Structure 1
Amino acid sequence: MTFFDEVGGHPTFARLVHEFYVGVAGDPELRALYPEADLGPAQLRLLGFLEQYWGGPGTYSQERGHPRLRMRHHPYAVTPAQRDRWLTHMLAAVDTLALDEAHDLLLRDYLTRAAHSLVNQLEDEQLANGSST
């Protein structure tokens, strides 16, 4: 049995991603990072990625190829502040799942490490270059 199965499969991950995007939609600074007017496509991509990563269906790779998480996020300036906003909403979404302690800790650890790995620009660089998000 995979983590995906152990935590309830698709309904659990669908709830996680839905709750995360409720947070994103209500956070103007984070929402600005999503170029599409409709968050639906981003929601489906994240759902597919997370389900596949945790042992669910391989739909993400079938539709989009190898995840290449860092490469896919490289075109976007991901700062520590944006990472922290993302984590705030994602960990709040994890809170809604009421997972047992072991699964909860494992999921939180992965999400935190993944978020940290995607930072590709420091705020100081952003300010020095006169750009903003």
Structure 2
Amino acid sequence: MDQIKRGTLQTETFYEQVGGEPTFRRLVHAFYRGVAADPLLRPMYPEQDLGPAEERLALFLMQYWGGPRTYSEQRGHPRLRMRHAPFTVDRAAHDAWLRHMFAAVDELELAPEHDAQLRDYLTYAAASMVNTPEA
């Protein structure tokens, strides 16, 4: 919804349009349910409890889409490729990550335009993290 404030047009962020923090927390929680049972992805999360990883991803996605800047305040610049460098992210990991993330997006039942925008970003993000060429 657009609002006029002090003579300028203010447009809601994607974060606000899709329901804010609760939506992103649902997305990430559903994603990590899939990761917890995935034999390829689970070993990439060294912490026994996936809770800290879930929190980091939720904060990152909320910030990326126009929500609070808590991620950067706590962790600095995202530096996603650097943070993922210790892990083998090949095509199989890429595909597994997207499979779980898209299943989580399905659970949100977003408006078609929001669904497409989120999937486009996730597809781009997953491709950006690949750091191991196919053999």
Structure number having the greater strand percentage: 2
Partner of 2:35: 24
For the residues of structure 2 that align with 1:34 and 1:123, how far apart are their CA atoms? Answer: 22
1:53 aligns with 2:61: no
Residue in structure 2 matched with residue 84 of structure 1 by the alignment: 95
Question: SS of the counterpart of 1:28?
Answer: coil
Aligned residues: 124
Matched, 1:101 2:115: no
By relative contact order (CA 8 Å, sep 6+), the higher-ranking structure is 1
CA separation in 1, counterparts of 2:52 and 2:134? 28
Report the counterpart of residue 75 of structure 1 in structure 2. 86
Q: Distance in 2 between matches of 1:6 and 1:28?
A: 35
1:123 Cα deviation after fit: 3.8
SS at match of 2:73: helix
- In the alignment, the residues of structure 1 paired with residue 62 and residue 72 of structure 2 have an alpha-carbon distance, to the nearest angstrom, of 11
Could you tell me which amino acid in structure 2 is paired with residue 90 of structure 1?
M
User: Displacement, 1:122?
Assistant: 2.1
Deviations 1:8-66 (A, max 9, x none): 00010000000000000111221111111110000000000000000000000000000
Computing the radius of gyration over CA atoms, which structure comes out larger, 1 or 2?
2
In the superposition, the TM-score normalised over structure 1's length comes to 0.91
SS at structure 1 position matched to 2:22: helix
RMSD over aligned Cα atoms:
0.7
